[in-house]
Amino acid sequence: MADSNTSTTADPSLLQSLKLHLDGLKRTQHGQVLYNQIQRGLQKYGHEDGRIELVFVSFLHALLGKYATSPSCDPSTRVKARLIQQRLTLHLPKTAPAPAAPKPVATASRPTPAEAKPAVAPPAVPKPPAAPAPAVETKPELVAELVAPLTENKPAPIIETKPEPVVEPLAAAPTPVTETKAVPPPEPAPPSRQENIEALGDSLAEKVTESITVDRQFGELLETEREALKSLDSPLGEFNDLKQILVKGLNELIEERQALIEKLSSAGDYLKAVESDRERLRQELSHARKHSMADELTGLPKREVFVKQLEAEIGRVKRYGFALAVAVIDVDNLESVNKRYGRAAGDAVLRCYAGQILAKFRTYDLVARYGGDEFAVLFPNTQKDGAMHALEKARKTAASTFIHQDGKNIPLPSFSSVLTQYSPGEPAATLLQRADETLSQARLAGYNRMVVALPTA
């Protein structure tokens, strides 16, 4: 009886190693579902002495493979599923190549006169299929019983989350296209832009922190798994070979994790610098509002705030070596709008630019009211091509936008812009002077122009 029990159950050491990983599954939604499935199986197919039925080990190995390769499952659960699956590999039941045995029997039924000597071979042919048969076919009914209860609790998010997002955007897509031209611009709310900046920073910091936490858990699992594999000894040579392969694979994963830690550390330093500047900018904007440094018409910061932030960005460029681009935008022929439709229409044009056109830049790009009909944009950590692409998108949006004034649909005037980049050692006043002079020359050449004024050598 002891030999039969040993041939159909896994060693108690498997259950001890599983306990090290099961608690970690309960930290996520998908992991909790997988944890419940494993517990149900262990209650039914586990023995009091710690042994586990090999039929359940085989089924659990296949189930973990689906979790480990499912793109809908969260990364933490996929990693844990893969590690548990590697642990189960050492305890999977071995199956001999049974189909290979019947073929020699069929050919042996037609002996030729030249094959009289191999007549001794037939007694050895029936023996191989007789030995492995109990290991493969002992309890096939258990698999059917196991699949039914466990599949009831398979995580719904893995199956049901894929088709839902595809339907609604298709039906809703045409609606905003026709309404963007006719909807009047909403009144700008200065605090909302700052709140968006804060929300973006908090979300980004939270995601990085979550990635570091998952990476730390992943590292602990890898270290535990590697030490467990190193301490595993078996008289079977193929088990030792498998152990060496798994240890080598885990070493490679640990090296990749170290590289990821370095990247996350670099990203963390950058986020700290951004957070520090964001906090300082928040304080400056609050101080600006108290001292009338925010433009009353558009709600944007005035030129003085823009210049201070430009000087701060230049200091950050000197410390970290990031790129920095600045654009000055002039609304084309705003005077004609004032003369034809009234001053209120001209004010509506400026509010539309501030609330709709220029608000579509990145949340950490600073847009300010630079002058009467001029705006200035600060593009931190941005090369020339990226800033030009952003300005071109704003140009296309302005060309298809209308404003409502006194029952009339007035097309939004185009704008001309000058884009320049910071040169190492250049003062903020010199950079802005170069942009102003280039913009004055561009006005003489016509409307709707975009000029790049790079610093001279």
Higher pLDDT, 294 or 243: 294
Q: Locate 455 and state its tokens.
A: 């610093």
pLDDT tens for 94-144 read 654 444 444 444 444 444 444 444 444 444 444 444 444 344 344 445 444
Q: Strand, helix or coil at 382?
A: coil
The alpha-carbon radius of gyration of the chain (Å, integer) is 35
With 0.85 as the threshold, say if the pTM is over it: no
150 pLDDT higher than 60: no
Round the average pLDDT of the chain to a whole number and report it. 75
- Looking at residue 1, its pLDDT comes to 40
Region 148-176: mean pLDDT is: 42
Tell me the range of 15-19, 84-88, 138-142, 187-191 where mean pLDDT is highest.
Answer: 84-88
361 pLDDT higher than 90: yes
- Looking at residue 354, its pLDDT comes to 95
In percent, the amount of the chain with pLDDT more than 90 equals: 29
Burial of 381 (0-12, 13-18, 19+ CB in 10 A): middle
Q: Locate 372 and state its tokens.
A: 């009467």
Burial of 214 (0-12, 13-18, 19+ CB in 10 A): middle
